[in-house]
Structure 1
Amino acid sequence: MANPQLDELLARAGAAAGRMADLADGYAAITGEASDARKVVTARVDGSGGLIGLSLDRGALRLTPAELGELIVSTALVAAQRAYAERARLTDDFNREFAEYLGAGETAGTHPGNEGDR
């Protein structure tokens, strides 16, 4: 016995699960990169802010260990901020799409809290 409302609900749930998997894939693909103004240090981070790449120019040899350490940390921080900004953008896009998706279900009368279903 076919139940069109149940079929629609299951299709929508499957689509939502697929979109959530896409979001996870998007998070996994995020990287952030930054260089200091003199291009002595270039840092690359993953979507969680973990350092995955570090390049030092010859100019690094002219810095004290403390100066170099500070430059590495500050450059990696900028790279992480860029990665986090991309993560926030993906999350905002997902939340907006999901809210629209839920709103479409409510107008179709399939939302469990919809008073028209009772």
Structure 2
Amino acid sequence: MVETMDELIAKVQGQLYRLQDLTDATNSIRAQETSPDGAVTATVDGAGALVGLAFTRAIAKLSPEDFERVLTQTAQTAAHRAFGERAELVTAYNRTGM
């Protein structure tokens, strides 16, 4: 409970700063995954969007179907890792209370 307007303003301002910190941390998430064969490396942001993709010469050994599978699995694994990082940030934010 707040007793004065100044306390209320300070509390709300603190919450805004915490929310901005959470937003900044979430926006800075980058998760990278390389396929087991080393052919594909995918990098995603905190929303799971693909922001980087690299290939090695090992992709020449893959059929189109295998390439699609490896690319998709690698990007999905990177996204899963990014979502895990984001979940940890949100959990920590929620634990500190409003």
Residue-by-residue CA offset, 1:11-51 (whole Å, 9 max, x unaligned):
01101111101111111101111011121111001111111
Query: Given the two structures, how large is their TM-score scaled by the length of structure 1?
Result: 0.78
Q: Which SS does the other structure have where 1:48 is aligned?
A: coil
In structure 2, the partner of 1:82 is 81
Residue-by-residue CA offset, 1:59-91 (whole Å, 9 max, x unaligned):
100110110011000000000001000000000
Name the % identity.
35
In structure 2, the partner of 1:20 is 19
Q: Is the radius of gyration larger for structure 1 or structure 2?
A: 1
Give structure 2 stretches of 5+ with no counterpart: none
In structure 2, the partner of 1:68 is 67
In structure 1, the partner of 2:58 is 59
**Number of aligned residues:** 96
Give structure 1 stretches of 5+ with no counterpart: 103-118
Q: Distance in 1 between matches of 2:62 and 2:39?
A: 10
Task: Name the structure where helix makes up a greater proportion of residues.
Answer: 1
| Displacement of 1:58 | 0.5
In structure 2, the partner of 1:106 is none
Q: Distance in 2 between matches of 1:53 and 1:80?
A: 12
Q: Distance in 2 between matches of 1:69 and 1:37?
A: 14
Q: Which runs of 4+ in 1 moved over 3 A?
A: none
